[in-house]
């Protein structure tokens, strides 16, 4: 298939683009490089440097879109909500209009666990209430709502994948944010010497060790789900699937695993809670396993961290 991958110079987008190229698809990466890296575009893909509002010609002859391009920092979204609504919702609506004009009728969308907000129970199924607690989650949920409407009104075939905590690396493709807010890369930066210590944001949560629990999914397993989702796009339907490992690890457990993998003592400093962090976020990925036959292969946190460490440190 001829596929447009928006945000294909970013972390998850570049891994999916690489897997699509390896599966012999014709891949066009569209990315404005606002947070992505040109050298992350996989060999064999065509690169178009443009924003999603200007997808225009890049959509000619395309069979489906995999849409990753977005602003994705929770904290920034609270400080600059307009930017998140404009980019994530406004940009996606422009992309959907351009797709409609050119007769492109399939889309796989990067949604997020942040659409659920503070969960009532764990693990979280797709039927859980969606009550996002920040503009990032709200803007992604708004796109999911638009996709449902466009499927009903225009016959669009859409699949939203709601990611939990993506981690690890796939060959040379790794997480590289200018402002790093995520736990695993921040912990590993202590081991490389880029940071002196890692902050633990809160130790008074109602969890076994008092720190937040998250569901870490390997980026390669996450990417595989996109290829399955592409095959499952059915015109007139919007399907939503959660993607996680189904197992939770606390911040302290993550730091311990990073110590074991790197052999570095990794000093940790306890700090206050970070605003908007739910205590526990663990996915039920039962639906995608049952309906699309997805199965995560790299489920051990140690293996996920080891891949991230290998890509970061060049070991």
Which chain residues interact with ligand UDP by CB under 6 A? Answer: 74, 165, 181-183, 186, 198-201, 212, 214, 251, 274, 277
The Cα 181–Cα 251 span in angstroms is 13
In the complex, what is the shortest distance from the CB of residue 229 to ligand UDP, in angstroms, rounded to a whole number? 21
In the complex, what is the shortest distance from the CB of residue 175 to ligand UDP, in angstroms, rounded to a whole number? 10
In the complex, what is the shortest distance from the CB of residue 274 to ligand UDP, in angstroms, rounded to a whole number? 4
* Residue closer to ligand UDP, measured from CB, 16 or 213: 213
Q: Are strands 249-250 and 213-214 parallel, antiparallel or unpaired?
A: antiparallel
The Cα 138–Cα 133 span in angstroms is 7
Residue nearest to ligand UDP (CB): 212
* Residue closer to ligand UDP, measured from CB, 68 or 150: 68
* Residue closer to ligand UDP, measured from CB, 17 or 200: 200
* Residue closer to ligand UDP, measured from CB, 159 or 268: 268
* Whether 41 contacts 8, CB under 8 Å: yes
Q: Which of these, 210, 180, 207, 206, lies nearest to 192 by C-alpha position?
A: 180
In the complex, what is the shortest distance from the CB of residue 299 to ligand UDP, in angstroms, rounded to a whole number? 18
The Cα 231–Cα 277 span in angstroms is 34
* Whether 201 contacts 254, CB under 8 Å: no
In the complex, what is the shortest distance from the CB of residue 150 to ligand UDP, in angstroms, rounded to a whole number? 27
User: DSSP code of 177?
Assistant: -
14 φψ region: left (φ > 0), alpha (ψ -120 to 50), beta (else): alpha
User: DSSP code of 314?
Assistant: -
The Cα-based distances of 119 to 123, 124, 128, 193, 208 in angstroms read 9, 7, 8, 36, 17
* Residue closer to ligand UDP, measured from CB, 106 or 176: 176
Quote the tokens at residue 30.
Answer: 């569209």
The alpha carbon dihedral of 203, 80, 133, 295 has a sign of: negative
136 is catalytic: yes
Helix residue ranges per DSSP H, the chain: 11-22, 74-79, 81-84, 91-101, 135-154, 183-192, 219-232, 251-262, 286-292, 301-313
* Residue closer to ligand UDP, measured from CB, 78 or 93: 78
In the complex, what is the shortest distance from the CB of residue 115 to ligand UDP, in angstroms, rounded to a whole number? 12
**Exactly one of 84, 136, 205, 216 is catalytic; which is it?**
136
Where in the sequence numbering do the catalytic residues fall?
A: 136
């Amino acid at each position: 298939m001829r596929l447009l991958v928006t945000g294909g110079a970013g972390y998850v987008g570049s891994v999916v683009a690489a897997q699509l190229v390896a599966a012999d698809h014709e891949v066009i990466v569209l990315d404005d490089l606002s947070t992505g890296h040109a050298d992350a575009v996989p060999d064999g893909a065509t690169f178009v440097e443009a924003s999603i509002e200007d997808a225009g010609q890049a959509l000619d002859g395309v069979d489906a879109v995999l849409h990753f391009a977005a602003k994705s920092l929770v904290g920034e979204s609270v400080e600059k909500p307009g930017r998140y609504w404009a980019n994530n919702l406004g940009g996606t609506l422009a992309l959907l209009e351009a797709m409609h004009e050119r007769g492109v009728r399939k889309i796989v969308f990067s949604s997020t666990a942040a659409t659920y907000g503070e969960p009532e129970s764990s693990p979280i199924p797709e039927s859980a209430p969606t009550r996002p607690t920040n503009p990032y989650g709200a803007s992604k949920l708004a796109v999911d709502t638009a996709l449902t409407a466009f499927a009903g009104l225009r016959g669009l075939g859409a699949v939203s994948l709601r990611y939990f905590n993506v981690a690890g690396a796939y060959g040379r493709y790794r997480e590289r944010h200018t402002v790093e807010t995520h736990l695993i890369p921040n912990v590993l930066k202590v081991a490389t010497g880029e940071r002196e210590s890692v902050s633990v944001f809160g130790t008074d949560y109602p969890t076994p060790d008092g720190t937040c629990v998250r569901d870490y999914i390997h980026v390669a397993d996450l990417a595989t789900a996109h290829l399955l989702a592409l095959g499952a796009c059915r015109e007139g339907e919007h399907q939503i699937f959660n993607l996680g490992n189904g197992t939770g690890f606390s911040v302290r457990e993550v730091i311990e695993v990073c110590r074991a993998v790197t052999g570095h003592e990794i000093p940790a400093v306890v700090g206050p809670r970070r605003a908007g962090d739910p205590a526990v976020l663990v996915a039920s990925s039962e639906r995608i396993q049952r309906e699309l036959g997805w199965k995560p292969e790299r489920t051990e946190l140690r293996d996920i961290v080891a891949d991230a460490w290998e890509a970061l440190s060049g070991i």
